[in-house]
Amino acid sequence: MADLLSGQLLIAALVLAGIYGLVALGLNLIYGTMRLLNVAHGEILMLGGYLAYWCFTLTGVGPIWSMFLALVLAGGFGAVVYRTLCRRVLRSARLIEQIEANSLLVLFGVSIILQNAIALSFTATARAYPYLDDIVRIGGFQVTADRLVVLGIGLALCFAVILFFRFSGTGLAIRALIEQPDAAHLVGVDVERMRTIAFALGFGIAGVAGCLISMLEQVSPFMGFPFTIAAFIVIILGGLGNIAGGLAGAAVLALIEVYGVALTSASMRSILIYGVFIAILVWRPQGLFGRRSVVR
């Protein structure tokens, strides 16, 4: 039991919370502003992971630098996916339920295509690279430097995003679109532009998260799906469309996962995660922090 109090577990939980927070953020933005269910979100993360891997392996450029490239490339990819695919889904659907269902199918297709395209190009073999794996001692415990870097960047990025949504005009406009879409149109929010930005930002952050994860885990074409699921659980915990709630939800899920696995065994991971998923859907579908939403 003494292990449970160790710094390693706490760091592991915080690192995981930061990553879940980042991945869920993009999913939440895209769902919140458009009601599109982006099941390809984990694949964007996977692409970010591969980008970091190849940058490091071929040119020696570390993920700390390649993540800027990932932000731009994944962000641009997000804008393209919105303009080519998702805008059609939004236009052809008449009901919110249709948007959710149609986007689920279209983006599931995107997800499969991306997985297989990467598997074809680089084979299905999992890959890893050594980066910042020296051990750092802080106080009484030891931790590898890469974890500290991931934690620091993850937290800084979450914080930057919160500041962006709180204080910038664009952030305010995107929040308006999440809260009250009709009124956002009325006050003059340029809706098409905000949707493109939401996609670019969501995908870009997922790309960065992929770079960070590649420092800790192997990259493979199929690594994305568990993160998609985790991200869905996080935003359901935090409340759909609730950005700050999502970050808190990420912390809750990461704590449950890391400490739950430590108390039981690694094979319990999926059971724990899906257990949380189902429990929340049954008992608190409005999320841990959400008000019960008004049925319209």
Partner 1 sequence: MLEIDALTAGYGEIRVLERVSLDVAEGSITALVGSNGAGKTTLMRAVAGLVPVSGGRIALEGADLASAAPSERVERGLALVPEGRLIFPGFSVEENLRIGAIAPHAKAGRAARMAEMYALFPILEQRRRQPGGTLSGGEQQMLAIARGLMSRPRLLLLDEPSLGLAPAIAQSLFDTIVAIRGAGVTVFVVEQDIRSTLEIADTAYVLENGRIALSGTAAALLQDPQVRQAYLGL
**Which residues contribute to the site for partner 1 (CB under 8 A)?**
169, 172-173, 175-176, 179-180, 182-192
Smallest separation (angstroms) from partner 1 to the CB of 172 = 6
Of the pair 137, 296, the CB lying nearest partner 1 is at 296
Of the pair 36, 176, the CB lying nearest partner 1 is at 176
Smallest separation (angstroms) from partner 1 to the CB of 184 = 8
Of the pair 179, 217, the CB lying nearest partner 1 is at 179
Give the separation between CA 274 and CA 270, rounded to whole angstroms. 6
Of the pair 191, 255, the CB lying nearest partner 1 is at 191
Of the pair 96, 183, the CB lying nearest partner 1 is at 183
Smallest separation (angstroms) from partner 1 to the CB of 178 = 9
Smallest separation (angstroms) from partner 1 to the CB of 192 = 8
Give the separation between CA 69 and CA 52, rounded to whole angstroms. 9
Give the separation between CA 258 and CA 165, rounded to whole angstroms. 29
Smallest separation (angstroms) from partner 1 to the CB of 88 = 18
